[in-house]
Chain A
């Protein structure tokens, strides 16, 4: 099991460590600063923290031990050619400029090889632990990339990066809004893979367009990579054929709306969600915070509530704020109201690590 949890928040990065049967807050980094995402590359033991200083821009820091941090390079976009039209759905020029670091994943070839997804939609690759980054041009210059649009944010972005453990040249990325994209040749060519998803926020004739889909997060079971889950803006979808097709799960406890999803590392039938009422009401149903779990591929769901607030709860759990460790038994999630809960038994029960952190953007086991 993983005995360390990184919690990225609006006001700092907080590290909890398990000691005996309890968890303790052990490290605080970047206190007061906006830490939007963190990542651990277990191949070389390095930590990464993405910051958004607002006025001063997006930064990336790296650490060998989770205590001392060094600023490294951020992905940077090329100058847009003067004759290359690229407008948002609102009719303004899409800025070719880094707005947010929104996803990390380990690429093939060992420690320090990373993928990074960003807003406004660029996918970047580093081979030196973040000292330098290169834009994946075949995806950025794909003509259909211009169809992507912001969902919540002003600009589109890549929030999910899935690297096939059997062949790391195969990578899938999830885009809000832009569907799911797959490369089989480490980024040289790309195909959209969102068949079966449905965008209720589009006119009927465009609802099935793969490029307009808003999968809030996409995950794949590490032990059975072709079985995937997506918490989509318009519900929950599942794929059993490596994203070639997606099937909607129409019922999942109190609601199918949410942002986060976690899949069991060994059992592709088992997945967890944290539901909210709807896109117009991003709060728990009836003020009760629950986690939903399926063990049978979405045919049925259990509603898990032991240890979670049963009334007057207005927590929302963002897409990167739910994580599961390699055992499949330990889960963690954090909320917009600064609470963090851990489960040691697959979600059957939860214990709170804190109720008063800053708003939580992301959690990850380290």
Chain B
């Protein structure tokens, strides 16, 4: 299981509480969350599933490398942070 946390700024727009989810990649973990909360997806990824341009995701302190497919692997117990980038917006 991994724990996914979201920037608090999202809570004003959409339910985005921290959650524990299974998954072997960032994509799998997020897809599990988005399945239960489809509205959340549109705030984090674009219509093709790519991470929005001015968003970042960190896995155990490392920024994800694959912003298109979100294929970065995650370990059991990983801490995933979905954050705003300090650019644009």
Question: Taking the complex as formed, is B88 at the interface, i.e. its CB lies under 8 A from any CB of chain A?
Answer: yes
Report the nearest B residue to A51, measured CB to CB: B13
CA distance A74 to B84 in the complex (A): 21
Binding-face segment, B29-37, B48-56, B59-67, B73-81: B48-56
Find out whether the CB atom of B48 lies under 8 angstroms from the CB atom of A57.
no
Given the known A-B contacts A77-B47, A79-B48, A97-B48, are A57 and B89 also in contact in the complex, defined by CB atoms under 8 Å? Answer: no
Chain B contacts for A96, CB-based, 8 A: 48
Chain B contacts for A74, CB-based, 8 A: 42
Question: Taking the complex as formed, is B21 at the interface, i.e. its CB lies under 8 A from any CB of chain A?
Answer: no
| CB-CB contacts below 8 Å: B5-33 with A | 9-10, 13
Interface residues on B, range: 10 to 19
Given the known A-B contacts A56-B52, A74-B42, are A97 and B89 also in contact in the complex, defined by CB atoms under 8 Å? Answer: no
CA distance A59 to B43 in the complex (A): 9
Find out whether the CB atom of B85 lies under 8 angstroms from the CB atom of A55.
yes
Find out whether the CB atom of A54 lies under 8 angstroms from the CB atom of B88.
yes
CA distance A76 to B13 in the complex (A): 20
Question: Taking the complex as formed, is A29 at the interface, i.e. its CB lies under 8 A from any CB of chain B?
Answer: no
Expressed in whole angstroms, the minimum distance between the Cβ of A78 and any Cβ of chain B is 8
Expressed in whole angstroms, the minimum distance between the Cβ of B39 and any Cβ of chain A is 7
Question: Taking the complex as formed, is A98 at the interface, i.e. its CB lies under 8 A from any CB of chain B?
Answer: yes
Expressed in whole angstroms, the minimum distance between the Cβ of A84 and any Cβ of chain B is 14
Find out whether the CB atom of A56 lies under 8 angstroms from the CB atom of B10.
yes
Chain A interface residue count, CB cutoff 8 Å, equals 14
Given the known A-B contacts A55-B84, A55-B85, are A76 and B47 also in contact in the complex, defined by CB atoms under 8 Å? Answer: yes
Find out whether the CB atom of A55 lies under 8 angstroms from the CB atom of B48.
no
Find out whether the CB atom of B89 lies under 8 angstroms from the CB atom of A54.
yes
Find out whether the CB atom of A53 lies under 8 angstroms from the CB atom of B13.
yes
CA distance A96 to B47 in the complex (A): 9
Find out whether the CB atom of A57 lies under 8 angstroms from the CB atom of B39.
no
Chain A contacts for B46, CB-based, 8 A: 57, 97-98
Chain B contacts for A3, CB-based, 8 A: none
CA distance A77 to B46 in the complex (A): 10
Report the nearest A residue to B45, measured CB to CB: A57
| CB-CB contacts below 8 Å: A1-59 with B | 53-57, 59
Chain A contacts for B89, CB-based, 8 A: 53-55
Chain A contacts for B9, CB-based, 8 A: 55
Find out whether the CB atom of A56 lies under 8 angstroms from the CB atom of B13.
yes
Find out whether the CB atom of A71 lies under 8 angstroms from the CB atom of B39.
yes
Chain B contacts for A54, CB-based, 8 A: 54, 88-89
Residues of A near any B CB (own CB < 8 A): 53-57, 59, 71, 74, 76-77, 79, 96-98
Q: A74-B42, A76-B47 are in contact. List 19 more A-B contacts (CB 8 A).
A: A53-B43, A53-B89, A54-B88, A54-B89, A55-B9, A55-B52, A55-B54, A55-B89, A56-B10, A56-B55, A57-B46, A57-B52, A59-B13, A71-B39, A77-B47, A77-B48, A96-B48, A97-B47, A97-B48
Sample (20) of A-B pairs whose CB atoms are under 8 Å apart: A53-B13, A53-B43, A53-B89, A54-B54, A54-B89, A55-B52, A55-B55, A55-B84, A55-B85, A55-B88, A56-B13, A57-B43, A57-B46, A59-B13, A74-B42, A76-B47, A77-B47, A97-B47, A97-B48, A98-B47
Residues of B near any A CB (own CB < 8 A): 9-10, 13, 39, 42-44, 46-48, 52, 54-55, 84-85, 88-89
Q: Give me the 10 closest cross-chain CB pairs, A-B, nearest first.
A: A54-B89, A76-B47, A56-B43, A55-B89, A55-B54, A55-B84, A97-B46, A57-B52, A55-B55, A79-B48
